[in-house]
Amino acid sequence: MIASFLARSTRSTTRVASTLSSPTSLLRFKSTGCYTKAKRIGFVGLGNMGLPMATNLFNGFKNEADFIIYDINQTTTSNFVKDHSAGNKDKVKVAKTPLEVAQEASVIVTMLPASPHVESVYFGKDGLLEALGPDHLVMDASTIDQSMATRVAKVLHGKGAKAIDAPVSGGTGGAQAGTLTFMVGSNTVADFELAKRYLDKMGKNIVHCGTNGNGQVAKICNNMLLGISMIATSETMNLGVRMGMDPKLLAGILNTSSGRCWSSEVYNPCPGVQENSAATRGYTGGFGMPLMAKDMRLAVNAAVETKSTVLLGALAQQLYNQMAANKDFEQLDFSAAYKWLSENAK
Amino acid sequence: MIASFLARSTRSTTRVASTLSSPTSLLRFKSTGCYTKAKRIGFVGLGNMGLPMATNLFNGFKNEADFIIYDINQTTTSNFVKDHSAGNKDKVKVAKTPLEVAQEASVIVTMLPASPHVESVYFGKDGLLEALGPDHLVMDASTIDQSMATRVAKVLHGKGAKAIDAPVSGGTGGAQAGTLTFMVGSNTVADFELAKRYLDKMGKNIVHCGTNGNGQVAKICNNMLLGISMIATSETMNLGVRMGMDPKLLAGILNTSSGRCWSSEVYNPCPGVQENSAATRGYTGGFGMPLMAKDMRLAVNAAVETKSTVLLGALAQQLYNQMAANKDFEQLDFSAAYKWLSENAK
Amino acid sequence: MIASFLARSTRSTTRVASTLSSPTSLLRFKSTGCYTKAKRIGFVGLGNMGLPMATNLFNGFKNEADFIIYDINQTTTSNFVKDHSAGNKDKVKVAKTPLEVAQEASVIVTMLPASPHVESVYFGKDGLLEALGPDHLVMDASTIDQSMATRVAKVLHGKGAKAIDAPVSGGTGGAQAGTLTFMVGSNTVADFELAKRYLDKMGKNIVHCGTNGNGQVAKICNNMLLGISMIATSETMNLGVRMGMDPKLLAGILNTSSGRCWSSEVYNPCPGVQENSAATRGYTGGFGMPLMAKDMRLAVNAAVETKSTVLLGALAQQLYNQMAANKDFEQLDFSAAYKWLSENAK
Amino acid sequence: MIASFLARSTRSTTRVASTLSSPTSLLRFKSTGCYTKAKRIGFVGLGNMGLPMATNLFNGFKNEADFIIYDINQTTTSNFVKDHSAGNKDKVKVAKTPLEVAQEASVIVTMLPASPHVESVYFGKDGLLEALGPDHLVMDASTIDQSMATRVAKVLHGKGAKAIDAPVSGGTGGAQAGTLTFMVGSNTVADFELAKRYLDKMGKNIVHCGTNGNGQVAKICNNMLLGISMIATSETMNLGVRMGMDPKLLAGILNTSSGRCWSSEVYNPCPGVQENSAATRGYTGGFGMPLMAKDMRLAVNAAVETKSTVLLGALAQQLYNQMAANKDFEQLDFSAAYKWLSENAK
């Protein structure tokens, strides 16, 4: 399978054509008209994250594959076609349904907001599932709960398709720069390796986190720890400043001591401590409150389901929810927890 | 540094010589001799931290100075004398009171459990204060509240003495190895530089955190962030393990992602993740629950006093208090928060 | 009430008679006879709560109606038949599916553990929905989320059926004694009045909480406040006892002061304070940890969905989850929060 | 005061007369001119609470005793004299120091903001202690920590004086109306009875909570539970309203169910639910944020010292601190927690 898949889509057509040593895949291509299909990559979900990811994927593969895209926002899809299809009408197709994507493309990436969207795109009427089969490699980059991710994988495996979960970190900046981290859950190393070829065009670190669903576990765990750490760093910086310390000096000390964390070192929430932080540019851009609130919710739900206790996690979830529900904060980066703390006591 | 210190001694001498109106101090200098006095270092508080610190200080200065020590535990002091005074009865004296230390030594280090002990040693009957004057350099390495530290400094400065606060991090291991971090509050760089010469024998990083009291601010802030991060890391590792992930793999992912912190990278609370962590050796040694509970309390008190909000800090304080009050946990390293979480849901 | 109910049946019959375009329902009425049907009451879900509720409902209506019951546990249903059907084989039927209940009974009560069971019983294959129509009055006493309750009501209303949500409080004791409180969500007062006739046999207080779904809102809100208050009372009693006060004296003072709450007055979690409390009998019986954990989860989820902040609620949820996940506590009444607090610091 | 004190003296005298076994007390009255002294009542601390309390005490005893008052605010004391001393220059004296109060009055009430003020008034230079002796009955109505209260009692008992702690609840409204609750710590019932005669003029419920210091325990415990319940009620009302329920209806249901508490029944934080609540009048008047923040702090400190765990308590403390530090909330009644929650998510 792996051999045939590599033959099919990668180095690629050439090898298939020139090496008759892969009769099975040759047969398959013959019988299903797979040759055309192998040359088309599908992308479902061109939102803030999905659009730059799809663009990088397109740029990485445009010489060897055509594309088919689907999004409910037709302005987005027609703009994508306009930007990337010039002079070749067939280069990028716009599908009318997810099903059409699965009918045309053998390699598919989905990037959707939450579990209900994944449910609908995969299992709904005119969903991907109806056309998925042994020729497909499907990569879901959405951040969803583990149980949904394992269910997707199980159902797709049941159809013979290859399926991995591959949630990302790195935000819209990383999506644009192609430097995302992908946390991949895949039952087999082979599927992981197969997927990596595509993910490499959109990200810098492609990490195999274990079996299907574990990509979500890694993402959820990382973001819960990040979410707590950011509030903890905010409380600490605010406390230190109110006790009379210079924030840069305090950050410097924390960062060479046992209090240091990514939030204090790389993304300090106190304005002015770091030149390029979200905090210093008014908490614009970055990772928005609603996104962190959503990830914290996934974490707390997972904790309840696995009988894990997350006292700090549950409290942090509430705080992000509160900020995400406040019109002055919902548009801001999650590091505005510092702003929240320092302004509430005014 | 040495130059400036000698300069100071010289100036003192000069001043004493020119002010014959100070018969007491003259008497003191006559009887002990200023040169001799400059050659004696005092150490008050030889507990778990103080004893190895005093030992390192002794070893670093034994060729140029004698010592005088004070502790309420006389076994400790007589053992210290036994260990370090062989063949020279005057090499290490044992003081009967803190006052005696101040009468004999011009450079004094104190390492005490909490504010009330500092109050008593400095300001109580037969306390240091009674004999402190312009010749003295006093370094308090205790972890206490900022207001007490600034009060000590103010009173000592009023007597003309040099005073810094210099709380440490690094634990008993760091104290023994001489690799402590000292967070120094000092109104002047000159005093900091003067103190550094002595602190260097006991620590590796000597950080100037600003004015008097700021050593405490830095310590309290760092340890609050550390205390929260450790529980957050414990919640995260416990959640991930219960969701089915291998803890080493999870730690590896966190540590290359935005969730990383000192507690996940260097001191992971999940047994087996790191070979030399407290967790892996059964949470023995390390930084005990009561110590973290005490530092968290200082942080929460400081927050209340400065109108800072520390929601996660206050919750973490309660959790360390609870563990410190449990006979199965009070002796353990603070990273046993993981054990607490994972065993409570059994 | 009876009048209105009969009126309803009459109207239904009339309507059916005049619309011969509905041969299925006509057939149904022919075969079972509308009169007979109105005389049969259905009950789905005979668990710890449902069984005593069904028994009370049976005893209240046995002279005017027959019964049909459904539960996945066949021992339970055959025992119910044995206990209540003596000498009259048709008095209590056991249905093979929820659908059969809807086909035979016009008045139906459901009492199910959680939303997925409600989904399945109402909307699943062979579910109630398939046979529901204008003749039906359906009362769901399950505690589920508001959105599921409003969805059930909407779909049933779409079929012309009367539907109310009526979650209960009062526990198994109240269920047995017929003293439950029903919190009823009903779009119309008429439906509420209709339902009240049946609920009266199972409960003492039947409260109209507003439109469909509001029964769940009232239940969830009450139990969140109860859950927080119980932990708060436990913290307070534990603190007072450790500060040296007699617990009965302390409870007496709280209960005549502004600290009083149901948990301190009626259900004090400190053993010995009240003679008949769960606490005094070793926390046996009562309202179990998993049930409170479930209700707190509904509350926190509702908070997230409505952008409400529940800091104390989220923390309390975690604590009940933790106790529900601990084998020494999962079987105990939720007031064992006191035992948890007092024993953890041992 | 004097009234009950005289009663006691009378009774004593009678008893003394009949038993002759108590010559000392007889002697005492002779030698110290106790008669005169017994005719003067002292009051220290005429703040927002103390002033109306002193007024009620004056009105209750003006026919049988004179007064002496002390406060650092001289406008307050001279106004009190103006209001109550008309025509009799000696009726109300203003003391220059607490000592003077103790010298002139045998019955003394103190009402001070916090422990440091108690320390100063009782034990400072020119403090009460210098003149206290067996003739004195001293009642401290301040809310302070248990350890300070027991220390005061111990020292005063050492001087032969009678001393009780008697913190109050009921706020400025209760102070004005003379309907306060006094929670009295007194080692003996006799002292409690003696004190009760005076406290009766200022309050409605005078409760004996056990030994000295237990008045504080009762107060602290009650207010911690109150403080948590108020936030819990606010979270619950806010949640219910956002889920679509009418707040009056919701409150009505809670108040007949297991969620009910003083905060939901008597002092509902949602505006409009109760006609005369602080909430309905814009959170003006009542029990201010800084006062609740102070009491919660006493509770959390007591918890740390007694190794009690107060997770909800610590979180609530932070929330009151945060509101007390916010200029839009610091002046408001503590039930404005509802306003805080509902406005933060705007």
Same domain, yes or no: A225 and A205? no
Active-site entry in C162, C219, C294, C339: C219
- pLDDT computed for residue B39 by the predictor: 79
Taking the C-alpha atoms of residue D186 and residue D170, their distance in angstroms, rounded to an integer, is 21
Taking the C-alpha atoms of residue A55 and residue A226, their distance in angstroms, rounded to an integer, is 28
Chain D interface, best mutation among A311, A323, A331, A344, by max D CB count within 10 A: A344
Report the complex ipTM: 0.86
Taking the C-alpha atoms of residue C113 and residue C108, their distance in angstroms, rounded to an integer, is 17
Same domain, yes or no: B241 and B304? yes
The string of pLDDT tens digits covering residues A15-72 is 323 333 333 333 333 333 333 344 899 999 999 999 999 999 999 999 999 999 999 9
Same domain, yes or no: B83 and B133? yes
CB contact under 8 A, B325 and C311: no
Taking the C-alpha atoms of residue B41 and residue B137, their distance in angstroms, rounded to an integer, is 10
Q: Please name which of D187, D215, D221 lies closest in space to residue D199, comparing C-alpha atoms.
A: D215
Taking the C-alpha atoms of residue A129 and residue D166, their distance in angstroms, rounded to an integer, is 74
What integer best gives the mean pLDDT of chain C? 88
Partners of C70 in beta bridges: C44
Tell me if A179 is assigned to some domain: yes
Same domain, yes or no: D56 and D154? yes
A345 chain-D contacts, CB cut-off 8 A: 322, 325-326
C218 chain-D contacts, CB cut-off 8 A: 240, 245, 250, 253
Partners of A93 in beta bridges: A68
Taking the C-alpha atoms of residue B143 and residue C285, their distance in angstroms, rounded to an integer, is 49
**Bigger pLDDT: A5 or D344?**
D344
C134-145: average pLDDT: 97
CA atoms within 13 A on the CB side of B259: 32
Cβ distance D166 to D182 under 8 Å?
yes
CB contact under 8 A, D303 and B310: no
Q: How many beta carbons lie within 10 A of that of residue C223, not counting itself? A: 26
For β-strands A137-140 and A107-110, DSSP reports them as: parallel
Structural domain ending residue among the three candidates A162, A183, A210? A210
Same domain, yes or no: B175 and B228? no
- pLDDT computed for residue B89 by the predictor: 78
Same domain, yes or no: C165 and C54? yes
What integer best gives the mean pLDDT of chain B? 88
Q: Contacts by C47-52 with C-beta closer than 8 Å and gap 24+?
A: C47/C71, C47/C111, C47/C113, C48/C172, C48/C175, C49/C111, C49/C141, C49/C168, C49/C171, C49/C172, C49/C175, C50/C111, C50/C112, C50/C141, C51/C76, C51/C80, C52/C172, C52/C175, C52/C176
> Number of helices (H) and strands (E), helices first, in chain A?
17, 9
- pLDDT computed for residue B346 by the predictor: 66
Helix D214-242 × helix D337-344 angle, to 10°: 30
CB contact under 8 A, A217 and B319: no
Residues, chain D: 346
Residue D124's contacts (CB-CB under 8 Å, 6 or more residues apart) are: D98
Look up residue A244 and give its two tokens. Answer: 């009379």
The string of pLDDT tens digits covering residues C291-346 is 999 999 999 999 999 999 999 999 999 999 999 999 999 999 999 999 999 988 66
Taking the C-alpha atoms of residue B210 and residue B217, their distance in angstroms, rounded to an integer, is 10
CB contact under 8 A, C228 and D312: yes
A346 chain-D contacts, CB cut-off 8 A: 325-327
C-alpha separations of B281 from A10, B212, B274, B339, D287 in Å: 49, 38, 10, 12, 52
Residue B186 pLDDT more than 90?
yes
Count chain A–chain B contacts defined by CB atoms under 8 A: 242
Q: What is the torsional sign of CA D66, D70, D71, D77?
A: positive
CA R_g for chain C: 22
Taking the C-alpha atoms of residue A34 and residue A195, their distance in angstroms, rounded to an integer, is 19
A336-340: average pLDDT: 97
Interface of A to C at Cβ within 8 Å reads 293, 297, 300, 303-304, 307, 309-311, 314-315, 317-319, 321-322, 324-325
Same domain, yes or no: A308 and A224? yes
Taking the C-alpha atoms of residue B71 and residue B98, their distance in angstroms, rounded to an integer, is 9
A307 chain-B contacts, CB cut-off 8 A: 242, 345
Q: Which pLDDT band, with edges at 50, 70 and 90, does C28 fall under?
A: very low
Taking the C-alpha atoms of residue D334 and residue D290, their distance in angstroms, rounded to an integer, is 8
Look up residue D186 and give its two tokens. Answer: 């007194």
Cβ distance D121 to D110 under 8 Å?
yes
- pLDDT computed for residue C345 by the predictor: 66
Structural domain ending residue among the three candidates D212, D242, D271? D212
The one-letter amino acid at A326: N
In order, the DSSP letters of A110-143 are: E--SSHHHHHHHHHSTT-GGGG--TT-EEEE---
A149-167: average pLDDT: 98
Cβ distance B152 to B118 under 8 Å?
yes
The one-letter amino acid at B287: F
Count chain C–chain D contacts defined by CB atoms under 8 A: 243
Same domain, yes or no: A200 and A228? no
DSSP state, residue D211: S
Look up residue D112 and give its two tokens. Answer: 């001070």
C-alpha separations of A178 from A59, A204, A266, D328 in Å: 11, 7, 19, 46
Q: What is the pLDDT along chain D (346 residues), one digit of tens a residue?
A: 333 332 333 333 333 233 333 333 333 333 333 333 358 999 999 999 999 999 999 999 999 999 999 999 999 999 999 999 877 878 999 999 999 999 999 999 999 999 999 999 999 999 999 999 999 999 999 999 999 999 999 999 999 999 999 999 888 889 999 999 999 999 999 999 999 999 999 999 999 999 999 999 999 999 999 999 999 999 999 999 999 999 999 999 999 899 999 999 999 999 999 998 999 999 998 889 999 999 999 999 999 999 999 999 999 999 999 999 999 999 999 999 999 999 886 6
DSSP state, residue A261: B
> What total number of domains does chain A contain?
2
The string of pLDDT tens digits covering residues A254-279 is 998 999 999 999 999 999 999 989 99
- pLDDT computed for residue D346 by the predictor: 66
- HEC letters along chain C: CHHHHHHHHHHHHHHHHHCCCCHHHHHHHHHHCHHHHHCEEEEECCCCCHHHHHHHHHHHHCCCCEEEEECCCHHHHHHHHHHHCCCCCCCEEECCCHHHHHHHCCEEEECCCCHHHHHHHHHCCCCHHHHCCCCCEEEECCCCCHHHHHHHHHHHHHCCCEEEECCEECHHHHHHHCCEEEEEECCCHHHHHHHHHHHCCCEEEEEECCCCCHHHHHHHHHHHHHHHHHHHHHHHHHHHHHCCCCHHHHHHHHHCCCCCEHHHHCCCCCCCCCCCCCCCCCCCCCCEHHHHHHHHHHHHHHHHHCCCCCHHHHHHHHHHHHHHCCCCCCCCEHHHHHHHHHHHCC
The CATH number assigned to the domain holding D22 equals 3.40.50.720
Residue A284's contacts (CB-CB under 8 Å, 6 or more residues apart) are: A278, A332, A333
Look up residue C63 and give its two tokens. Answer: 């002279």
Q: What is the residue whose two structure tokens read 């996945």?
A: C72
End-to-end CA distance of chain C: 58
C-alpha separations of A185 from A111, A168, A305, A308, B253 in Å: 15, 12, 20, 21, 13
Burial degree of D159 (CB within 10 A; 0-12, 13-18, 19+): middle
Same domain, yes or no: B177 and B223? no
Same domain, yes or no: B79 and B180? yes
- pLDDT computed for residue C5 by the predictor: 31
- pLDDT computed for residue A21 by the predictor: 34
In order, the DSSP letters of D42-72 are: EEE--STTHHHHHHHHHHHHTTT-EEEEE-S
Q: How many beta carbons lie within 10 A of that of residue A36, not counting itself? A: 12
The CATH number assigned to the domain holding C233 equals 1.10.1040.10
- pLDDT computed for residue D318 by the predictor: 97
Taking the C-alpha atoms of residue C261 and residue B104, their distance in angstroms, rounded to an integer, is 63
Q: What is the residue whose two structure tokens read 């709280």?
A: C254
Buried b / exposed e over D279-312, threshold 16 CB at 10 Å, is beeebeebbbbbbbbbbbbbbbbbbbebbbbbbb
pLDDT-wise least confident of B89-93, C195-199, C232-236: B89-93
Look up residue B221 and give its two tokens. Answer: 């802030």
CB contact under 8 A, D261 and C257: no
- In this complex, the residue of A311, A322, A345 whose CB is nearest that of residue D345 is A322
Task: Quote the percentage of chain A above a pLDDT of 90.
Answer: 82
Active-site entry in A162, A219, A294, A339: A219
Partners of A164 in beta bridges: A139
Q: What is the torsional sign of CA B283, B284, B285, B289?
A: positive
Nearest-by-CA chain B residue for C328: B346
A326 chain-D contacts, CB cut-off 8 A: 344-346
CB contact under 8 A, B309 and A217: no
Residue A197 pLDDT more than 50?
yes
Taking the C-alpha atoms of residue B155 and residue D169, their distance in angstroms, rounded to an integer, is 40
Partners of C247 in beta bridges: none
The string of pLDDT tens digits covering residues C93-134 is 999 999 999 999 999 999 999 999 999 999 999 999 999 999
Taking the C-alpha atoms of residue B36 and residue C215, their distance in angstroms, rounded to an integer, is 86
What integer best gives the mean pLDDT of chain A? 88
CB contact under 8 A, D307 and B324: yes
Taking the C-alpha atoms of residue B274 and residue D195, their distance in angstroms, rounded to an integer, is 64
Strands (DSSP E) contained in chain B are: 40-44, 66-70, 92-94, 107-110, 137-140, 162-165, 168-169, 180-184, 203-208
DSSP state, residue D131: G
Taking the C-alpha atoms of residue D278 and residue D170, their distance in angstroms, rounded to an integer, is 13
Tell me if A50 is assigned to some domain: yes
Structural domain ending residue among the three candidates A166, A192, A210? A210
Domain of residue A258 covers 217-344
CA distance C314 to chain A (A): 6
- pLDDT computed for residue D286 by the predictor: 82
Taking the C-alpha atoms of residue C44 and residue C113, their distance in angstroms, rounded to an integer, is 11
> How open is the CA angle D249-D251-D257, to the nearest 5 degrees?
105
Same domain, yes or no: D159 and D29? yes
B211 chain-A contacts, CB cut-off 8 A: 244
Same domain, yes or no: B140 and B190? yes
Residue D251's contacts (CB-CB under 8 Å, 6 or more residues apart) are: D237, D264, D268, D270, D273, D274
Taking the C-alpha atoms of residue B7 and residue C136, their distance in angstroms, rounded to an integer, is 101
